[in-house]
Amino acid sequence: MKFKNRWKKAACLLLTIVSTACLGKVDVKAADYWPDAPETLSPSVILMEESTGTILYEKNSDEAHYPASITKIMTTLLALENGNLSDMVTFSDDAINNTEGSGIARDYGEQMTLEQCLYGVMLESANECAYAVAEHVGGTVENFVDMMNAKAKELGCTNTHFANPHGLQDENHYTTAHDMALIAQAAYQNETFLLYYGNKKGTRLVKEKVNVRYSSSVSREKALVEQLIKGPDSDNESAVLPEGTKVLSVSVKDHICYVNLDAGFLDTTNVMNPEVPVYAIVNSIVDGSAISRVQILIDGKTDITYMGKINLEKPLSRNPNIVEGE
């Protein structure tokens, strides 16, 4: 990216020199062409490019302020990294009665999935949901707040301290525009995907919503395959790929995804149905994307018949027949 920008600047400079030579002497001042800073009412502002972390504009970005409900970005980030979206969250008496402000009118003892709670947190800014999520993920709100501060330090935040998971004002609850940009950048690197794992017997595929964190330097498709190798979090599903499998490369061309794995994929010790590992990859990549087919390669080769039954020579389409409930 830096090279491209420098190349463009060099090309513009060359064009200016050529134009000047053709038209005669022209007084050009760089300041005349430099954009003015935007007018902002907020005392602290930052504009960061998400994939690289490049700061495009900032104003007093290291001044400390009360973050209010944008605190919930960190709450959600930790919940996604440490919880399971299908977990059941129970609303305690403290979650209902020790929070004020915005909420969605939950009752003591009521249950929602973690996913539903996070929708309440981020769409409705529901304080009781943030509190319940903190209790569920951290065991106690105090433990969760410790997790929040540890995560802030891990992300490079230098002037941030959290005192609660919802953002209600507290003199020990503060952050800066720059630190919040770092937290938001990390949050944007989390995405929820529909992955396919094996059922308990390993004979068919089952769907599971999984939060996957990956950086902008890693493709969506590679992140999905690596997550499949890690295996499911739930005891209701079984692993579909050998644990030692390595992803050599992943690329996409003309709506076909090429997944190149090492020979570890061929370890079929625990494979009950040859369709399960193959179509776990294919279905997970194809679902929710513009990709129509997946070509699986082993050490760059396609002339392989997996377990003597599935020909990997050509790209494969999504297979609904191996999925439970379809």
- The model's pLDDT over 5-32, given as tens digits with 9 standing for 90+, comes to 443 444 444 333 334 334 444 555 555 6
Alpha-carbon distance of 161 to 195, in angstroms, equals 36
Task: Cite the active site residues.
Answer: 69, 72, 125
Question: How many residues are present in the chain?
Answer: 326
pLDDT in tens, the chain (326 residues): 444 444 344 444 433 333 433 444 455 555 566 677 778 888 999 998 887 888 988 999 999 999 999 999 999 999 988 988 889 999 999 999 988 889 888 889 999 999 999 999 999 999 999 999 999 999 999 999 999 999 999 999 999 999 999 999 999 999 999 999 999 998 888 788 889 999 999 999 999 888 887 766 678 899 999 999 999 988 889 999 999 899 999 999 999 999 999 999 999 998 999 999 999 999 999 998 899 999 999 999 999 999 999 999 999 999 999 999 87
Q: What stretch of H or E contains 208?
A: strand 205-213
Instruction: Say which residues have a Cβ less than 8 Å from residue 308's Cβ, sequence separation at least 6.
Output: none
Alpha-carbon distance of 55 to 62, in angstroms, equals 13
* pLDDT value of position 326: 79
The alpha carbon of residue 307 and the mean position of all alpha carbons in its chain are separated, in whole angstroms, by: 34
Q: What stretch of H or E contains 210?
A: strand 205-213
pTM of the full predicted structure?
0.66
Strand 256-261 relative to strand 293-298: parallel, antiparallel, unpaired? parallel
Residue 229 has a CB neighbour count (10 Å cut-off) of: 20
What would the two tokens of residue 102 be? Answer: 């915005």
Residue 240 has a CB neighbour count (10 Å cut-off) of: 24
Task: Judge whether 224 and 240 are in contact, CB under 8 Å.
Answer: no
Dihedral of the alpha carbons of 279, 283, 285, 288, in degrees to the nearest 10 = 180
| DSSP-derived secondary structure for 97-136 | HS--SS-----TT-EEEHHHHHHHHHHH--HHHHHHHHHH
What would the two tokens of residue 295 be? Answer: 């070509």
Alpha-carbon distance of 40 to 276, in angstroms, equals 55
Q: Give helix 127-138 / helix 141-154 axis angle, nearest 10°.
A: 90
* CATH code given to domain 68-188: 3.40.710.10
* pLDDT value of position 10: 40
Task: Judge whether 318 and 294 are in contact, CB under 8 Å.
Answer: no
* pLDDT value of position 24: 45
Domain with CATH 3.40.710.10 in the chain: 68-188
What would the two tokens of residue 249 be? Answer: 């490369």
Alpha-carbon distance of 240 to 254, in angstroms, equals 27
Instruction: Say which residues have a Cβ less than 8 Å from residue 307's Cβ, sequence separation at least 6.
Output: 268, 271, 274
Nearest to 312 by CA among 269, 271, 270, 282: 282
Model confidence over 167-209: pLDDT tens digits? Answer: 999 999 999 999 999 999 988 887 888 899 999 999 999 998 8
* pLDDT value of position 34: 65
Largest pairwise CA distance in the chain: 81
Helix (H, G, I), strand (E, B) or coil at 251: strand
